[in-house]
Amino acid sequence: MSESSVITDSPTNIGLVRGVLRSAAVPVLSVLTAMLIGALFIIVAGYDPLVAYRGLLNGAFGDAAGLTRTLIKMAPLVFSGLAVAFAFKGGLFNIGAQGQLLIGSVTSAWVGFALPVDLGNPVLSAVVHLTLALLAGLLGGALWGAIPGILKAYTGAHEVITTIMFNFIASNLIGWLLFAGAPGEGLPPGPLNDGNGVIARTPSILPTAYLPVVFDPPGPTALHLGVFLAVIAAVLVALLITRTTFGFELRMVGLNPTAARYSGIDVKRITILTMVIAGGLAGLAGAMQTLGVNYRYEPNQSLGLGFDAITVALLAGNNPLGVVLAAFLFGAMDAGSTRMQFQSNVPSEIILVVQALILMFVAADQIIRMIYRIRGEGGIGQMFGTGWGQR
Amino acid sequence: MLTAVTAMARTNRTALWASIGAVLIVIMAFLAVGAVGPAVVVAVINASIRGMVPITLGAMSGIFSERSGIVNIGIEGMMLIAAFVGFMTNYALSLPGAPSVFQAEPIRMGLSILTGMLAGAVMGLLHAVLCIRFKVSHIISGTVINILALGLTGYLYMPGATTLGRLPPMIANPFSESAGILYWIGEIFLKKGFITYATFALVIIIAVVMFRTRWGLRTRAIGEHPRAADTLGINVYRMQYINLLFSGALAGLGGVFLTLEAVGQFERGMTNGRGFIALAVMIFGNWHPLYAAAGALLFGFATALQGQLQFFGINIPHQFVGMLPYLLTVIVLAGFVGRAQPPAHVGKPYEVE
């Protein structure tokens, strides 16, 4: 950095560009290297990687429908990625995004079907109902995040284990709420089931709670408002972290809870608030699927989303705006994988292999730095102490 | 000295709760025999043991890893890869073209178990390299392993692959139903596959290794205070690498149990969270093999009970029973019952000076 101030009279701009390039180098090279290794796997299995990756690109960006699919997949990934990244900033590893978004998708569905809003004016009704349904998703997720946060703050129970446990508890709870019933064994359906007798799903939500469609290309998919809400949320989270007192305290607790405590920050309060906000963001990710895609809660609508969120957050270096880019990449991979499998017969699971490799290279950035001879300091993978102990 | 005493008191409290739990289960079993007859009770016990075996092995995997200071949330992925590799070995050796020497059951099954465990060990090695050589956060490394396993096994999965068969019960039940109690005891203790018996043996062996041998002492030392161990001349990294190979192999054995003994088939994502439950059980059992095995039995029992509730005339939804073990783990971790006492240095990277 020091030589740039000598060479040019606008050092900050040069430094900024260089800084961005430098911080983007490892993620970009990680993605490329992972794709290359993925290509090796494709060759070894006897397929053509070029055909496969062309299918992937076409499926994700090839036409308006493809791009729409990518953006639809991206919306919940931004919210859930933010849920993980935000918690990371506060020094917490939120593996529970999956459970939080499950709860959020069901609470938003419940407000969507059980709470008709009629204020005379259809537009006003829709705005109020949609807002309430989104709020329900937010609150459901926030509640599910709050419990591990409170346990961490007051008992020291490590959030990694408690959030994993709450993922299982959430899926059992939802299993009961949406149970389709087994008349043969005298088991009644769950309280939120629509009574179809077979599928564990809620009734359809009312059209007033739909996320409005903003773009409808030919084909079965239509772009809903969610992706724009997601980008706005990312900006708000970025501002919250960098421009507010709470954000400052959050980062301080994340970097060194002991120092934060001695400087008079209420670490317990910050810990709980961090998990509440993270859970709320994950809950909104669930609401995207319910209110924008399925128009009800259906089983497996968010399978694995909460775990993709971890990879997205880490790939983004826990930067909220980076989360938008990483979610776009993962949304595209997800959206294109079906077309890839269709065109090249390569099983879509190769995408998971590539994603795991991306995560590995981003975390163990020394490998990438070694291969491409990039200088620089430790990666995000080394930031977190991961013991089970008290903070 | 004081910490040693309090640590002992804490462990004993966990032991106390574990034994209270065991006694309650036995009392419930006796009451249930009166209510529903022995057949249902024995079925529940056998289902509990089936559910317990992979979780126990996963917990043993976790103990090896965490006692030497490395958090392992990749148990799930290690199990899944091993389940797949073990099954594919069995499949390859079952093909008509395979040499007949390898098709004999003991050799075919032996090789399948070994390759599965080896695959688990390779994943353990990857975890070790990422955590020790590259100082990656242990939890991120574990997440990499979990996603990688899901992707690789799904990518290479061959639907409809069949084999010559799975591990048979080792000992037949010599009693007929007319023998009464002896028959039911035989139904519980005999008629189990090799891996089930091996698991019970391993729990005891690992308990002895961890608490009665030099290796175990050194392992626990580097988990508690690697600097001190290092100063005393213990090669911390070498110990960690070897313990993670063991950790991977044990998770692998848990994985191949699913494909070679319990189910006989591979399905995508078939470990279904067992690796995470194993982690919970390990914490539940305070990083001790015997208590962890008891915890695994409790989890297995809760799972087994879910399917049988209506036979007992109990009308709570089975999902609530399914929730219980997870809630219990949270309660234990939060210190409401006993206190989770992890190795002091677990999860922190160690830099040799």
Q: What is the pLDDT of residue B343?
A: 81
Q: Which residues contact A62 (CB under 8 A, 6 or more apart)?
A: A339
Mean pLDDT of A176-205: 83
Q: A125 to chain B, minimum CA–CA distance in Å?
A: 37
- Contact status of B327 with chain A (Cβ, < 8 Å): yes
- Contact status of B81 with chain A (Cβ, < 8 Å): no
Nearest by CB: A388 against B134, B157, B340: B340
Look at A162 and A376; give whichever has higher pLDDT. Answer: A162
Q: What is the pLDDT of residue B161?
A: 84
- Contact status of B150 with chain A (Cβ, < 8 Å): yes
- Contact status of B323 with chain A (Cβ, < 8 Å): yes
Beta carbons of A389 and B342 less than 8 Å apart: yes
Nearest by CB: A359 against B138, B140, B319: B140
Q: Flag whether pLDDT at B210 surpasses 50.
A: yes
How high is the mean pLDDT of chain B? 85
Q: What is the pLDDT of residue A86?
A: 95
Q: Which helix (H) or strand (E) holds B253?
A: helix B236-256
A364 contacts in chain B (CB < 8 Å): 130, 134, 136, 141
Structure tokens at A229: 């809400």
* In contact, B283 and B333? CB cutoff 8 Å: yes
A176 contacts in chain B (CB < 8 Å): 317, 319-320
- Chain A to chain B, count of Cβ pairs less than 8 Å apart? 169
The DSSP annotation for A55-73 comes to: HHHHHHHSSHHHHHHHHHH
Lowest mean pLDDT among A60-69, A229-238, B18-27: B18-27
For chain A, give every domain's residue range: 1-47+346-379, 74-345
Beta carbons of B151 and A353 less than 8 Å apart: yes
pLDDT in tens, A68-120: 999 999 999 999 999 999 999 998 989 899 999 999 999 999 999 998 888 88
Q: How far apart are CA B329 and CA B281, in angstroms?
A: 7
- Which residue in B has a C-alpha nearest to residue A360's C-alpha? B144
Q: What is the number of residues in chain A?
A: 391
pLDDT in tens, B307-337: 676 666 666 777 887 787 788 778 877 776 5
| Residue among A39, A31, A174, A159 at smallest CA distance from A97 | A159
Beta carbons of B317 and A179 less than 8 Å apart: yes
Q: A105 to chain B, minimum CA–CA distance in Å?
A: 19
Q: Break chain B down into helix, strand, coil percent, rounded to 5.
A: 75, 0, 25
For an interface test with B, which of A154, A165, A187 has the most B Cβ atoms less than 10 Å from its Cβ?
A165
B336 contacts in chain A (CB < 8 Å): 155
CATH number of B47-299: 1.10.3470
ipTM score of complex? 0.82
Beta carbons of B280 and A166 less than 8 Å apart: no
| Residue among A96, A271, A257, A62 at smallest CA distance from A167 | A96
| Residue among B223, B270, B293, B279 at smallest CA distance from B75 | B279
Q: B154 to chain A, minimum CA–CA distance in Å?
A: 6
- Contact status of B257 with chain A (Cβ, < 8 Å): no
B140 contacts in chain A (CB < 8 Å): 314, 359, 363, 381, 384
Fill in the DSSP letter of residue A187: B
B346 contacts in chain A (CB < 8 Å): 387-388
Q: How far apart are CA A21 and CA A23, in angstroms?
A: 6
Beta carbons of A168 and B323 less than 8 Å apart: yes
Lowest mean pLDDT among A184-193, A371-380, B32-41: A371-380
Beta carbons of B348 and A363 less than 8 Å apart: no
pLDDT in tens, A45-76: 889 999 999 999 998 998 888 999 999 999 99
For chain B, give every domain's residue range: 47-299
- Contact status of B347 with chain A (Cβ, < 8 Å): yes
Beta carbons of B141 and A352 less than 8 Å apart: no
Q: What is the pLDDT of residue A381?
A: 46
Q: A61 to chain B, minimum CA–CA distance in Å?
A: 23
Nearest by CB: B140 against A314, A350, A355: A314
A44 contacts in chain B (CB < 8 Å): none
Percent of chain A predicted with pLDDT > 90: 52
A163 contacts in chain B (CB < 8 Å): none
A91: left (phi over 0), alpha (psi -120 to 50) or beta: left
- Which residue in A has a C-alpha nearest to residue B279's C-alpha? A161
Q: What is the pLDDT of residue A370?
A: 85
Q: What is the pTM of this model?
A: 0.86
Amino acid residing at A304: G
B273 contacts in chain A (CB < 8 Å): 168
Most confident of A7-11, A189-193, B48-52: B48-52
First to last CA, chain B: 28
Q: Flag whether pLDDT at B146 surpasses 70.
A: yes
pLDDT in tens, B149-206: 999 999 998 888 888 888 888 888 888 888 888 888 888 888 899 999 999 999 999 9
Q: What does the angle CA A19 – CA A25 – CA A26 come to, to the nearest 5 degrees?
A: 120
pLDDT in tens, A299-335: 877 777 888 898 899 888 889 999 999 999 999 999 9
Q: What is the pLDDT of residue B12?
A: 54
pLDDT in tens, A310-320: 889 988 888 99
pLDDT in tens, A258-298: 899 999 999 999 999 999 999 999 999 999 999 999 999 98
Beta carbons of B136 and A363 less than 8 Å apart: yes
Most confident of A50-59, B10-19, B24-33: A50-59
